Structure formats: C-alpha cells, structure tokens
C-alpha cells in the first residue's frame, strides 16, 4: 500500500480508502459478518482511511463500521459526515451539526473522528454553510471531537467557493474523476493549491456502474452513461480483466487526490481492489475503453439547489440523489 499526505492535515492516508456506504445496504443487502470481514481485510491490507456518514443506510453503516473497528480504532483514520440524513432530509444548522457529531461518535463507538465533513453541501444554502455549518464544524474541531473538518458534494463550483476562505481542511468530490468523467480538477484553483487543501476523490466506479453487478434503481446517471459503462465492463471481461480494477488504478494515479474512496462490502472486493494497485493496464484495451467513454464523457446530473449548480440548467430542479 502507498500513502499520501492529506493536504496540510499531516494524516498519511492510504491511496485507496474504504468507502463504507455499502455497509448500510445502499447498493445491496450485506450481512454484518461480511462487513466485519471486509473491514478486517482492509486493515490487514494497509487501508487506513475509512469514510462513512449517518445518511448511509439511515445510520446502519456507522453502527456497523463502529462494531467492525472495535479494537482497531487507533490504527485507522475515521471520517464521517453531518447535515444529510435522508434522500431529502438535510439540516445544516449549527444546532443540528453539534448534536449530529455526538450521535455519530456514539454509533462509531469512539471519542473522536479524524475528519468531520458537511455532507452534500449543494443541498444547503451557501450562506448557511459558510455562516453556520462551517463555524459549527470549527467549534467541534476546537472541542477535540474532530481533528479536521471538510466539505463534500457533487457540485464543483460550490465546493471550490466554500473552500476558498481556507476554513476547512479537506474537500471530498465524487463521480467527477474516473473513467467516465474527468472534471474534478476544477477544484484545483491556485487558492486551493496555496491552501494545501486535502482532496478526496470518491466513487471511482461511478457509484458502482463500472462493477459487474447491476446498478441500484436510485442511480442518477443518464441512461447513455449507464449503457457505456455496461459496454466497458463487458469489454474488459472479454480481455479477461475487471473494469473495476482498471478504474480504480487510474484514479489512484491522480497527482493531487490523496486518496480514492471505493465502496466495499466484502473481503473479496477488498482483495480485488488491493490487487488493482499491482495490475498493468493493456494500452490497447485502455484505448478501446476511452473510445466507449468519450461520447458520454463528463455527462453530469442534477443535484442540490438550482443556485448551487456548476452550470446553468434549462430546467431548475431540486431532484435528490442517493449519495
């Protein structure tokens, strides 16, 4: 396993991080024993960064991760979130952020998290996130309940704007840098670089589209993106390799993202993803993958309040996404 500094936090995180949303049955049902085996395999394989949220499985993922990390808490970095509690249930108020962290700490069976992030900030008002949510996170940091604080979301412009004052340590972006999309670097403004923001890239498989299983019904990608992903998966199979390994391997090569969070629910998936760090990608295959991805490259979907969108939309929407 390789490790990189997460911005200026000083945390040396594994280049592959454990995304714990699948532990909340977000993609498909998993047993508690499978979750524990997955976490054990991840720690044994050198993964030291775990990301979860109250939203994943309506607190189930936090409960299960807390159980699975009993006796291991000191050897990992643990990140959770606040502000999002359901598909359309958001509360970024100071009071809710302050109570939320205590609830998470109870479920995670720990006295502190290494990173506390405001979850999917494009569903909140930019003013409230700046004036209320981030100051609440800072208060939690000064109490020692979170060592570092960050923001997460899908809309790059809002993430960049809210990170600009230098009041957060990390930014987590998802589904914006993988085989199907590559616009995450919009976050890397000269200010972000000067601030040495820790950048976390999530969803290397485009929330499961580049895995063999059928995507869940809630997946928000347009149909043509889903079809392109199916073709990429089938193409890789015909070459005797897995699309998920190629996708993950490409992501960990990003020059600035400290870690790539991949969602895992079984020890087999953990092993497969650890092996992805060793594979050599056939350039002929990679060219063919790119040919399939190019027609749908950078297709994005609606997420959050219309005023927080990256690009003007023909029809403003407050449609929610599952993650």
Residues in contact with ligand NAD by CB under 6 A are 19-22, 27, 51, 119-120, 152-153, 172, 174, 202-208, 211-212, 244, 261-265, 269, 272-273, 323
Q: Beta strands 170-174 and 146-153: pairing type?
A: parallel
- Which CB, 110 or 152, lies closer to ligand NAD? 152
Q: Choose the catalytic residue: 55, 56, 154, 174.
A: 56
**8-state DSSP, 132:** I
Q: For residues 110 and 242, which CB has a smaller minimum distance to ligand NAD in the complex?
A: 242
Question: Smaller CB distance to ligand NAD: residue 254 or 314?
Answer: 254
List the one residue out of 84, 261, 56, 288 whose CA is nearest residue 177. Answer: 261
The Cβ of residue 240 has, within 10 Å, a number of other Cβ atoms equal to 8
Q: How far is CA 286 from the centre of its chain?
A: 24
Report how far residue 180's alpha carbon sits from residue 226's, in angstroms, rounded to the nearest whole number.
Answer: 10
CB of 30 to ligand NAD, least distance (A): 8
Write phi, then psi, for 59 (nearest 5 degrees).
85, -10
E runs forming strands in the chain: 3-5, 12-14, 16-19, 49-51, 77-82, 84-86, 89-90, 113-118, 146-153, 170-174, 177-178, 181-182, 198-202, 259-263
Is 85 annotated in the active site?
Answer: no
Tell me how far, at minimum, the Cβ of 204 lies from ligand NAD, in Å: 5
Nearest-approach distance from CB 172 to ligand NAD, in angstroms: 5
Residue 228, token pair as written in the block: 């392109």
Q: Do the strands 177-178 and 181-182 form a parallel or antiparallel pair, or are they unpaired?
A: antiparallel
**Closer residue to ligand NAD (CB): 14 or 152:** 152
- In the bound state with ligand NAD, the residue whose beta carbon lies nearer, of 136 and 264, is 264
In the block, residue with structure tokens 């699948």: 22
Q: How far is the CB of 10 from ligand NAD (least distance, A)?
A: 22
Min CB(47)–ligand NAD separation in Å: 12
Rounded-to-integer distance, Cα 79 and Cα 168, Å: 14
Active site residues: 56
């Amino acid at each position: 396993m390789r490790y990189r500094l997460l911005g200026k936090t000083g945390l040396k995180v594994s280049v592959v991080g454990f995304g714990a949303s699948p532990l909340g049955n977000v993609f498909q049902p998993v047993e508690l024993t499978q979750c524990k085996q997955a976490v054990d395999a991840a720690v044994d394989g050198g993964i030291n960064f775990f990301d979860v949220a109250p939203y994943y499985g309506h607190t189930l993922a936090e409960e299960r991760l807390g159980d699975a990390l009993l006796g291991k808490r000191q050897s990992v970095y643990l990140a959770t979130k606040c502000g999002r509690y359901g598909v359309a249930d958001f509360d970024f108020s100071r009071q809710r952020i302050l109570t939320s962290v205590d609830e998470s700490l109870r479920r995670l069976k720990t006295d502190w998290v290494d990173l506390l992030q405001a979850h999917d900030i494009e569903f909140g008002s930019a003013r409230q996130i700046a004036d209320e949510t981030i100051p609440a996170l800072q208060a939690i940091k000064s109490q020692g309940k979170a060592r570092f604080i960050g923001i997460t979301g899908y809309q790059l412009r809002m993430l960049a704007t809210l990170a600009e004052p230098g009041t957060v340590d990390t930014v987590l972006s998802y589904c914006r840098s993988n085989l199907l999309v590559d616009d995450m670097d919009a976050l890397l403004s000269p200010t972000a670089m000067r601030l040495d923001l820790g950048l976390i890239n999530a969803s290397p498989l485009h929330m499961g589209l580049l895995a063999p299983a059928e995507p869940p019904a809630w997946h928000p990608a347009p149909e043509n993106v889903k079809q392109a992903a199916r073709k990429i998966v089938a193409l890789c199979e015909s070459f005797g390799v897995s699309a998920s390994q190629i996708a993950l391997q490409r992501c960990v090569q990003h020059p600035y993202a400290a870690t790539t969070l991949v969602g895992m629910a079984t020890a087999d998936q953990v092993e497969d993803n650890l092996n992805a760090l060793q594979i050599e990608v056939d350039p002929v295959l990679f060219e063919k993958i790119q040919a399939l991805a190019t027609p749908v490259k950078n297709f994005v979907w609606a997420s959050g309040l219309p005023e927080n969108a990256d690009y003007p939309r023909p029809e403003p929407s407050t449609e929610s996404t599952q993650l």
